[in-house]
Structures are given as structure tokens and as C-alpha cells.
Amino acid sequence: MSRVFNFSAGPAALPEAVLEQARNEMLDWQGAGMSVMEMSHRGTEFISIAETAEADLRELLGVPEGYKVLFLQGGATSQFSMVPQNLLADKESADYVYTGQWSKKAIAEARKFCRVNIAASSEDGNFTYVPRFGTWRLDPASAYVHITSNETIGGVEYHWVPDVGDVPLVADMSSHLLSRPVDVSRYGVIYAGAQKNIGPAGLTIVVIREDLIGGAPAGIATMADYRTHAESGSMYNTPPTYAIYVAGLVLQWLKGLGGLAEMEKTNIAKSQLLYEYLDSTEFYGCPVSPEDRSRMNVPFRLFDDNLDAQFLAQAKQHGLVELKGHRSVGGMRASIYNAMPVEGVQALLEFMRAFERSHG
């Protein structure tokens, strides 16, 4: 068996220790005589798996009293519509900060339900920065303020939390939740698809302040109402059981590493290795403003883009895969989530230096 270093933006690499444990427990989970995939979601075994996962997530994130943790399906994309449907209540508009491809999709979906006020945008800079808070034009009548706190495609990350006063702050943290400590109390809603940094595809995590649940209009679809999931412990219907189980193993792995503050140190170190090199050479470049660069998704390009195909093919021969940038921006992107070991980043750097020496 030989495993590659997988720089995919998502579904993405999982910690090897987690995959091994899942393999070891595949046919017989802790004496149950069956796989987690085969268990009733209402049986004591699976209930204990889900409860442990929720408790571990609460512990790692330091989720305060008064917040619900929901394990849903439908991806972060479903949250683009669930947020406005549930949070608007008697309001008619919401504030959105437009920082790239994912906020663009969130905005387009919200426009089906309300008036969207673009409070700030980095479109003028081709989405290479986070607009300074002083430039935001927030509307105090808005139901909430929505940010995409890590733009997975552009590689732009908020390294600060906007102070939006009493209006609830909603954040799409799909591609950096669990990469660093978060002060959950600053947010009304945090949501994330699991397949970037948390576990397999199929699970969507929502952390929501309890007072924001229950305001949906009477005609809302049952599955779109946060109340349905909050009142049933995310078991209104069959939850994505295996994805919850693997995410639970990832949470235990994170606890074993010392939690999110420790994980953050590693993520800072890994991303700095890449950015320092990108800034030190004329052969490669990173378009993102230094203060807003993502620790999770590192976009870069070769100054001679005629070499792109050769770069990708040779990288693959070195066991470095999924480095092609998103089709909307081109170039390269190295996604270096929690599960990417520092050795993977070092191997990428070594390859990039060698490629520069032979083509620069």
C-alpha cells in the first residue's frame, strides 16, 4: 500500500490514524457484532457514538450554554437557504460580505428569500482580501450579517471577528472549522460541511444560538426548520450515521493532539512554510494579501502558466496530488487541512524547489 499526499480542497485527506481505527472497527464495532453502517440510528450503540461526538465537539470548540449543535445533511449549500428561511423572522433584509465564490453562492440563494445588502465586497481586488471592517456598510435593520470566514477557492481567511453589535453574525466555516480556536459566543450561527476539515462528506455541522431557533414561517418545509432538528437531537430522520462516526474519530484524534490551540500552532507553521517560499521566489506567486491568507487553502501560480500541466503531472509522480486550482481561478491550490502532516507540506516544498531549479 502506498498513500499519496492529497491536497484536495474537499472531500479531503483524513488522518491516517482515523482511517486505521475505522478499518479495525469496520466489521465489528466494539463488540456490537456489526459495522456502524449497519446499526439502527436509534439503538444504544449509535446513540452513544453521536452523543460522544457532540460532547467532543462542544469541548473542542468551547461551545457555551445556550447553543445547539446539529448534525445535518445537505451540505453547507443547504445552509445557504436554511439561514435566511429561519433567521429572517419579521425582517426583510440581511447583510452579506462578498469575498469570493462561496459567498457569491450564499448571496444568490439568500436573494430568493430576502433583500440582500452587500455590506462589503472585495470584487474590485478579484477577491484577494477581506474588506477592512471600517469600510463595511451594515444595515441595523438586517436580520443577520453573513460572512464566509474562509473562502476555500480564493484562499482568503478572516483572522479577526467582526463586531456587528446585536445583529446575529452567521459564518460559513466549512473549510476552517476546527483548524483554530473559535469564540463561539461571538456568533449566532456557525455552519460547515464536514468534508473539508472534519470528516467524510454527508455530514453538515450547525452550531446555533437557541434564541435563533423557532422563528421560521409556518409554511417552512419540516427538514428546513432548525427547530425540527433541535427538538429531535438531530434524529428527526435517519442521520448520516457513518459520517458522524468518522467525524467523531477525528474529534478524538484532535483531543489527543491537545485540542484546537495545538492544532492551530501546527497549521500556522505549515502554512508559513509555503507562504514564505512563495514570497521568496519569482517563479511562483500567491495573489492573496499577506494579512488575509488562509492557513487551509493556499492558492499559488507559476509565473509561466505554460508549465502548469507539467507541474501537475510531475507532482503526481512524486505522490503529490490534487494541486490543480479551482476551475474558476486557475493556477494551483494546496489545501493543507488538519489532516495534512507537516511532512506533506515539506514534500511539496521540496518538489516545488526542484521544479523551479529545472525550469526557472
Per CB under 6 A, the list member of 86, 128, 152, 179 interacting with ligand PLP is 152
Provide the minimum distance between the beta carbon of 271 and ligand PLP in the complex, in angstroms, as a whole number: 17
Query: How far is C-alpha 79 from the geometric centre of its chain's CA atoms?
Result: 13
- Where in 52-111 is the site for ligand PLP (CB under 6 A)? 75-77, 102
Q: Is 253 a catalytic residue?
A: no
Query: Residues 179-218 vs ligand PLP: string with x where CB under 6 A?
Result: --------------x--x----------------------
Query: What is the CA angle 225-228-234, rounded to 5?
Result: 115
Provide the minimum distance between the beta carbon of 148 and ligand PLP in the complex, in angstroms, as a whole number: 5
- For residues 51 and 248, the answer to whether their CB atoms sit within 8 Å is no
Closer of 84 and 215 to ligand PLP (Cβ): 84
Question: DSSP readout, 263-315?
Answer: HHHHHHHHHHHHHHHHHH-SSEE--S-GGGB-SSEEEEEESSGGGHHHHHHHH
Of 56, 68, 95, 196, catalytic:
196
User: Peptide bond preceding 131: is omega within 30 degrees of 0, i.e. cis?
Assistant: no
Q: Is 102 a catalytic residue?
A: yes
C-alpha span between 358 and 360 (Å, rounded): 6
Q: Is 316 a catalytic residue?
A: no
Q: Closest Cα to residue 205, out of 78, 113, 37?
A: 78
Residue 241 as a binder of ligand PLP (CB under 6 A): the answer is no
Of 29, 68, 95, 102, catalytic:
102
Can you name the residues that pair with 157 across neighbouring β-strands? 150
Provide the minimum distance between the beta carbon of 115 and ligand PLP in the complex, in angstroms, as a whole number: 22
Residue 148 as a binder of ligand PLP (CB under 6 A): the answer is yes
Closer of 75 and 155 to ligand PLP (Cβ): 75
Alpha-carbon separation of residue 141 from 115, 135, 188, 252 (angstroms): 11, 18, 16, 42
Residues in contact with ligand PLP by the rule CB under 6 A:
10, 75-77, 102, 148, 152, 172, 174-175, 193, 196
Which positions are annotated as active-site residues?
102, 172, 196
